[in-house]
Amino acid sequence: MLVHICCSVDSHFFLQQLQKDYPYEKLIGFFYDPNIHPYSEYQLRLLDVKYSCEKLGIELLEGDWDLDNWLKTVKGLEQEPEKGDRCTVCFDKRLNVTAQKAVKLKHTSFTTTLLISPLKSQEKLKIIGENLANQYGLNFIFKDYRSGQGMHLQAKEVKENKIYRQNYCGCMYALNAQRQEQDKLCDELISPISKQILPQSIESRTELYKLRNILEDKNTDYKIIKERFLNYRLLSAKVIVEKQTIPSYFIAYSTLKSKKAQGKIEYTKNGINYLNKNEVKIVSLDTFNKLVSQNYTDVKQLIFNPLTFEDELKFRNKLFNNPYDLSCLIILDTIPKEKITIFCDSQTNIDVREKII
């Protein structure tokens, strides 16, 4: 039986139940989800599905991440709500490819872990699955494992096996609508040019679950906990001197109340240059290098090869005895004597993240 897998949150318990109901059937997982965006999230979910299937002793195959074809398939349905027509078309495409794969592998039946998701229509999935089964000469296995205690048992398995619990279905259109409703920044679709790993980003979650895999392999005792923290994203920033934009680097947790400040350096002490307005502090690259024991040749190099986010907090703490000081802290190649114009659009918010202890 070929089992289309959408994510390990839905697949782990579903596959366990299939193993019980079909003890003599060879189950093969098929991860085909071109709807998942961005690619870093796709890779994280694939990492987790591999972890789950390995625990269950199930072979896993990966389909193509053909996002371009998926986008063409759902064109014109971008504004549809979740469970609407876009989801129906998405189901049809993924199950169609799964059925074709089953025929190619000479399987006699197929199913999908989408059936257990409370956000997906079982009725639609059943109709699509049975139509494809008739078309390709297969059996579509319809199982309602979410009824009764199903959802409770699923949640229990997810927690006990430390499965990654994503906070959106995967589709960029549903994600945008969800974040708008939550009045939250859709930062899953934002990546810094520096490739710095930001807190509570997809990349940071990937690092956490890679560590989980290592600890599991070593049979090391650990626990994944949640913690509240002050999150931060820099959306855009620049420094202008004499009508020219100059290279600048804004240290993590730099904020400006009105997103713009103008002024001149009025005081310097211990390598920190204080603007006469808006609590702005500026440090030269030479001073920065000495304080963080680095040898950046210019600010452009710093922009594309920054410190880790955590080390930037240590630097801020070294200057102000407070890693979460929100003053705009900027690194420049040299300290200008002329009037400086600064733009800084950033966001801070109370957030929750996972942590391994």
How does pLDDT run across 169-221, given as a tens digit for each residue? 899 999 999 999 988 889 888 889 999 999 999 999 999 999 999 999 999 99
Burial class (CB in 10 A: 0-12, 13-18, 19+), 324: middle
Beta-carbon contacts of residue 246 (< 8 Å; ≥ 6 apart) = 239, 240, 332, 333, 336
User: Quick one: pLDDT at residue 90?
Assistant: 95
User: Quick one: pLDDT at residue 141?
Assistant: 98
Q: Are 272 and 331 in contact (CB under 8 A)?
A: no
Q: Are 180 and 79 in contact (CB under 8 A)?
A: no
Pairing of strands 244-246, 272-275: unpaired
For helices 285-292 and 309-320, give the axis angle rounded to 10 degrees: 100
User: Quick one: pLDDT at residue 277?
Assistant: 84
Pairing of strands 265-269, 260-263: unpaired
Q: Are 203 and 188 in contact (CB under 8 A)?
A: no
Q: How confident is the model over 77-87, as a mean pLDDT?
A: 90
Q: Report the alpha-carbon distance of residue 26 to residue 313 in Å, rounded.
A: 51
Q: How confident is the model over 295-318, as a mean pLDDT?
A: 97
Burial class (CB in 10 A: 0-12, 13-18, 19+), 109: middle
Q: How confident is the model over 327-339, as a mean pLDDT?
A: 96
Beta-carbon contacts of residue 259 (< 8 Å; ≥ 6 apart) = 343, 344, 345
Q: How confident is the model over 128-141, as a mean pLDDT?
A: 98
Dihedral, 95, 97, 102, 105 alpha carbons, nearest 10: -160
In one-letter notation, the amino acid at residue 141 is: I
Lay out the sheet containing 265-269: strands in order across.
Answer: 248-250, 329-332, 281-284, 272-275, 265-269
pLDDT above 90 for 334: yes
Q: How confident is the model over 133-147, as a mean pLDDT?
A: 97
Pairing of strands 281-284, 59-62: unpaired
pTM beyond 0.85: the answer is yes
Domain 2-189: which topology? Answer: Rossmann fold (3.40.50)
Domain boundaries along the sequence of the chain: 2-189, 229-352
Reading the block at residue 57, the tokens are: 């002793």
Q: How confident is the model over 36-59, as a mean pLDDT?
A: 97
